[in-house]
Structure 1
Amino acid sequence: MKKRVILGMSGGVDSSVSALILKNQGYDVIGLFMKNWDEKDEDGVCTATQDAEDAMRVAFELGIPCYTINFEKEYWDRVFSYFLDEYNKGRTPNPDVMCNQEIKFNAFLDYALNLEADYIAMGHYARVKEENGEYLLLRGIDKNKDQSYFLSRIGQKALSKTIFPIGDLTKEEVRKIAEEANLYTAKKKDSTGICFIGERDFDKFLDKYLLATPGDIIDVDGGKIGKHTGLIHYTIGQRKGIGIGGIKSGEPWFVVGKDLKKNILYAAQGEEHKALYSVALIGEEPKWISEKEPVFPLQCTAKFRYRQKDIPVVVEKSDDKLYVKFEYPVKAITPGQVAVFYDGEICLGSAIINKAIPLDEKYNFN
């Protein structure tokens, strides 16, 4: 009897090729499109509707069933509310990480298992390996597309039931497979940005849900250099759109800190300014993929943004928080983002960045 796999189909080329691979491997494949958000963009178009149609068309081409499941309530309660709460705290969250933790590998998984699925599958560039009864999350073969960063907060139950059909492929190979199979999505461009924002103006989107209170921009030496439009509109390390044009001309300005109580945005001039750099961070809500704590101090590598290269670190634990010391100073550590830990190809888990420890204590704006 064929093993049943329920595949999350997004309407993109990655999940389309995943469906083709699973079918060719002899699985009983059922596509499921997750409707997590329902709102039209600035052109009056709901991109989820188009994506669902694309997923259905590919499923028809492959001769597999595909259905739509509505997770809007779960997404609002578990992801979007978290997103808004983090911005209200002056932090910069990563909703894609939380979507994987709470929706794709939680709500979706439970739904699929209730339909008597043997496995779920996703079109992520990552791999799963079983070793001595433990399931390991490995980086995808394509280092430019590896998505283990976004999967760093899922656990053993999810990994034991998950297949990543394209984890051993490069994006170029995925496109080639899609074109050779003449799939409808073969040349569809990759989606960009946060799923519920898409290509829209980010600040305008935030202003629909959160109160933005204008205030002063202060340079790191204490001088007032401008006005900000609301702290929710800025993130640590930001260069563009700060609105300090013409002040102390020369090198560009960067956001280096926020004071929520005084509603002050701090900025420094020059991309190598000391105020941009940190030597360590404090992480909260650690999640270990093995679901077992490592032995501390933990020597490993970490990345603090998706596209960032790995940095050697030493991780210590104090109470329920992690102290992560860097081998060398790191730029633009951003509270609310995710610190993801690795041992070579293995993703160990992650923690939410609570606070950056500055290179120079006089630039501590936390």
Structure 2
Amino acid sequence: MSPTAGPGANGKVIVGMSGGVDSSVSALLLMQQGYEVEGLFMKNWDEDDGTEYCTAKEDLADAEAVCEKLGIKLHTANFAAEYWDNVFEHFLAEYKAGRTPNPDILCNREIKFKVFLEYAEMLGADKIATGHYVRQGLRDGRPRLLKGLDGNKDQSYFLHAVPEAAIARTLFPVGELEKPAVRALAEQHDLITAKKKDSTGICFIGERRFRDFLQQYLPAQPGSIETPDGDVIGQHMGLMYYTLGQRQGLGIGGLANYSEEPWYVAAKDLDRNVLIAVQGKHHALLCSDILATEAMDWVAGEPPVQQGRFTAKTRYRQSDCGCEMRVLPDGGVEVTFDDPQWAVTPGQSLVLYDGDICLGGGVIRATWKKATEAAA
């Protein structure tokens, strides 16, 4: 028997329905908790090339089926213009500058927890809800963004730029569960999304080939691949297609005077349009001890201290690393890690934690080693 909406004693909540299992179960759980629940399907990208990569129609159909099963209303909204202005243009600018951005972080701050929140308030919602694997809790009397209980699925890395005021207005029902339990609930209630695979890739690109997509917007500038000593060992298709630590797709092999050890991207020389590659995953040029960020996005709006010990991640699903943090005059931070970090990538985000509290993060702008103190 499918659940039916109760009297809404706990207020009205609009759930961001993606057409996936996590948002489906979020809506189910909120209904069981006595909320008046409605759904909203966001279209953040206008797909006009008719490729098989775009799953928006399929996702909308699944969201409609789930809402019909649960007996709740589904709204649809097109935020593509806001997405283009506030997320996609920044994404292109970062790639053009040779960095590797993470647009999902900006999408959460600018679209899912800003534009969607404002739209939901216009529809009379008291709160919004999403299917993210994070939690919200009061610490020292303030709403905090906490890691999800499922350490394998925790998504606080992607939500670190969402401000405290938005966190306070949001419910995260599946953040208290592990993924297998979420799928089990969906199956028990015969939701069509129970066995649907998790989406991967950047939200507006979907499953398509990244290189093919990016070529539509940025002209590629091929150039040489060199060793740190200046030996030309291959050709790259365009610096924007490569990221630090990348091993696949370099097309380097069978070189005289070099071993068969794999090659990795170690740096980008933008002035010369040259990709620098080294042999061996643990080459010194792939490791760094210290980094500096652009201006930080603190969940609380301000740093907890000017200097202190915390843990950090420089990529999603990375184990927390112990570090010393100090706030810089320009609003960024300098972080010194307890242990050397591998392939820390400018353009990606450093995210700081105090236990299970996500404090905030910032875009990595430079890395260097303790021994040389020379910026990379």
TM-score w.r.t. the length of structure 2 is 0.94
Partner AA of 1:308 in structure 2:
Q
Other-structure match for 1:356: 367
Does 2:301 correspond to 1:301?
no
Residue 120 (structure 1) aligns with: 128
- The residue that corresponds to 1:335 in the other structure is 346
Of residues 272, 275, 287, the one that matches 2:282 is: 272
Change (3 A) 1:54 1:106: same
1:344 aligns with: 355
Instruction: Say whether residues 1:313 and 2:299 are aligned partners.
Output: no
Task: Choose the corresponding residue for 1:133, options 122, 132, 141.
Answer: 141
| Structure 2 counterpart of 1:83 | 91
Counterpart check, 1:192 vs 2:203: no
The answer to whether the Cα contact below 8 Å between 1:41 and 1:200 also exists between their aligned partners in 2 is no
How many residue pairs align between the two structures?
365
Q: 1:18 to 1:41 in 2, by over 3 A?
A: farther
In structure 2, the gaps of 5 or more residues are 1-7
| Aligned mate of 1:111, from 119, 131, 136 | 119
Q: Look up the equivalent residue of 2:16 and give its one-letter code.
A: G
**In 2, distance between residues paired with 1:310 and 1:41?**
41
- Asked whether 1:262 is paired with 2:269, we answer no
Distance, in Å, in 2 between the alignment partners of 1:144 and 1:275 is 29
Aligned mate of 1:208, from 216, 235, 238: 216
SS at match of 2:174: coil
Secondary structure of the residue aligned to 1:26 is: coil
Distance 1:156 1:45, change over 3 A: closer
Whether the aligned pair in 2 keeps the contact of 1:38 and 1:46 (CA below 8 Å) is no
Q: 1: distance between equivalents of 2:59 and 2:22?
A: 13
> 1:275·1:358 contact (CA, 8 Å) conserved in 2?
no
Contact 1:277–1:329 at 8 Å: present in 2 too? Answer: yes
Q: Deviations over 1:327-357 (max 9, x none)?
A: 1110000000010000111111101101111
Q: CA deviation at 1:109?
A: 0.7
The 3 A distance-change label for structure 1 pair 252 and 57 is same
Q: CA contact under 8 A between 1:275 and 1:360: conserved in structure 2?
A: no
Return the letter of the residue paired with 1:95: P
Partners in 2 of 1:24 and 1:236 — Cα distance?
Answer: 46
CA–CA separation in structure 2 for the residues paired with 1:87 and 1:227: 19
CA 1:362–1:315 in structure 2 vs 1: closer, same or farther (change >3 Å)? Answer: closer
For 2:351 and 2:153, how far apart are their aligned partners in 1?
16
Which consecutive unaligned segments of at least 5 residues does structure 1 have?
none
RMSD: 1.5
1:262 is displaced (CA, Å) by 0.8
Q: 1: CA distance between counterparts of 2:53 and 2:263?
A: 36
Asked if 1 retains the 8 angstrom alpha-carbon contact of 2:266 and 2:276, the reply is: yes
Report the counterpart of residue 48 of structure 1 in structure 2. 56
> Which residue in 2 is equivalent to 1:325?
336
Greater Cα offset, 308-317 or 353-362: 353-362
In structure 1, what is the Cα distance between the partners aligned to 2:191 and 2:326?
49
* Aligned position for 1:158: 166
Structure 1 outlier segments of 4+, above 3 Å:
40-46, 358-364
- Aligned residues of 1:275 and 1:359 also touching (Cα < 8 A): no
Give the Cα separation in 2 of the matches to 1:33 and 1:265.
41
The corresponding residue for 1:243 is 251
Give the % identical residues: 53
Equivalent position SS for 1:325: strand
